[in-house]
Amino acid sequence: MELTMRHLLLAVPVLLLPLTSSHAQEEHHHHKHEEASSLSAHEHGSARLNAALDGNRLELELISPAMNLLGFEHAPANAADEAKIASARSQLEQPLALFGLPAAAGCSVSEQQFAGDLLGSAHAGYQRGDEHAHKQEHKHDHDDHEAGGHSDIEAHYQFDCSKPDALQALDLKGLFERFPGMEKIQVQLIGPNGQQGAELTPARAQLPF
């Protein structure tokens, strides 16, 4: 990921848990997804969103139990399960609507990446960095099996925004509406006004930049 998102991921443990001094910097870089996963338990209904706005570039990382997005976490057993996966994948591929980015900001998706074994062929949605993405796919598949059947889905987005001043807030109303299994989202945001965190819900779905 870009340096901005790396800084964001490094900042999150400072807010939520004390850092352990035993980890070297390079080891942290190698295990950043495992460490991020340890910040909170695999809790159905709850998800995490990391956001960073730096100049014209906006980066978002959504980490959610598959249950919130699909309604199940087992391997697809029938056509109905496959249809739910295809529908969720289609929704995740429309981030401008999911995150309430206004048209006035002129944001376009420059990169998007998905990880999670239940998404299957969703990895075709990668726009750049396919080799790295497939390595991550295999790693996450292994992690999900080791986690005793729990399965997470991660979505990473990078946007180029021609008028970032028009980005007044993240609005997750569309995300909550499209995925009703999502009850709360822990948001960590770095923007022009510094770093902030909040728990968003369907009743409070906005966080100003």
Residue 179, domain extent: 46-208
Q: Count how many Cα atoms sit within 13 Å of the Cα of residue 129 in the half-sphere of its side chain.
A: 15
> Please, which pLDDT band fits residue 41 given cuts at 50, 70 and 90?
low
Cα pseudo-dihedral 134, 57, 205, 15, rounded to 10 = 80
Residue 33 placed within a domain:
no
Q: What CA–CA distance (Å, rounded) separates 205 from 195? A: 18
Residue 142 placed within a domain:
yes
Report pLDDT for 43.
84
Residue 38 placed within a domain:
no
Q: 136-157: per-residue pLDDT in tens? A: 443 444 344 334 456 899 999 9
Overall domain count for the chain: 1
> Please, which pLDDT band fits residue 42 given cuts at 50, 70 and 90?
low
pTM, entire model: 0.70
